[in-house]
Amino acid sequence: MTELAQPANSESSGGSSPPANTAPKPARDGILLGLAVGVSGLAFGAAAVSAGLTVWQTCALSLLAYTGASQFALAGTIAAGGSLVAGAAGAILLGSRNSLYSLRLSGLLQVRGAARLLAALGVTDESTALALAQPSRAAARTGFFATFASLYLTWNAATLAGAIGAGKVGSPQSFGLDVIGPAAFLALIWPRLAAGWTERGVAAGGAAIAIAATPFLPPGAPIILAAFAALAATLASRPATAS
């Protein structure tokens, strides 16, 4: 990600036109990321139908909610015998992290008018991480919307395929599709973790809180707790460094 600006100076023999491999890099990265993560919709589609949802209910969740981890939490609650209300409450709690992402992206993307509604739907772990990894506002917008478009289309197509093929493909977890999203997200934030000890300390603290809380809290809640703890630690450290 940090090498975006270098090729523009190294191959200037063509005159006024910039090299072809610089401008599309955020779009290319977003499309590839969306394709890689979106296939995990197969696992959600199969899990949701196996939990008792119909194919159209499963597809409606992906089309309208579009919050992968929250959708898995909802399907898991129903599969475990929980009510739809309990499942929805857990899904909303887990999806609330997107509001934190939106606060950061609002000033960066500066989307205006009705397009803000579309951008709000596109706020995910992947689109946020890719946008924040870009060196400029224009690249961030390109990367965000490229990731959104690619991931949304792939996720919904995979959800439909998984829902239709539920019961015929075996356990969704046996394919390891659930690790694609976390692995891609870690790869995107790795440059920030390498930036300094403060970033690594906050990340390690959040991970420790999530691991410690996992045996005692429902799925998704440890992530929220770790996110708020990391945010509080970051805010608390600012006055100390300024004084």
Q: DSSP letter string over 84-123?
A: HHHHHHHHHHHHTHHHHHHHHHHHHH---TTHHHHHHHT-
- pLDDT higher at 228 or 74: 74
Interatomic CA distance for residues 36 and 30, integer angstroms: 10
Please report, for residues 125, 129, 132, 192, the alpha-carbon distance to residue 195 in angstroms, rounded to integers and kept in the order given.
20, 15, 14, 5
Greatest alpha-carbon span in the chain: 66
182: its two tokens:
């976390």
- pLDDT higher at 185 or 232: 232
Interatomic CA distance for residues 220 and 90, integer angstroms: 7
pLDDT for position 198: 74
pLDDT > 90? residue 48: no
pLDDT for position 74: 84
Nearest to 130 by CA among 116, 114, 151, 115: 151
Please report, for residues 137, 218, 219, 221, the alpha-carbon distance to residue 214 in angstroms, rounded to integers and kept in the order given.
37, 7, 7, 8
Interatomic CA distance for residues 62 and 41, integer angstroms: 9
64-68: average pLDDT: 89
166 contacts 50 by C-beta, under 8 angstroms: yes
133: its two tokens:
């990894």
Residue 60 pLDDT class (50, 70, 90 cuts) = very high
Cα Rg of the chain, angstroms: 20
Please report, for residues 162, 220, 221, the alpha-carbon distance to residue 224 in angstroms, rounded to integers and kept in the order given.
28, 7, 5
pLDDT for position 15: 45
Domain ranges for the chain, please list them. Answer: 25-170, 195-243
- Top mean pLDDT of 3-7, 106-110, 182-186 is at 106-110
Range of weakest confidence among 18-27, 80-89, 204-213, 230-239: 18-27
Interatomic CA distance for residues 212 and 226, integer angstroms: 10
Interatomic CA distance for residues 14 and 218, integer angstroms: 58
128: its two tokens:
């946020």
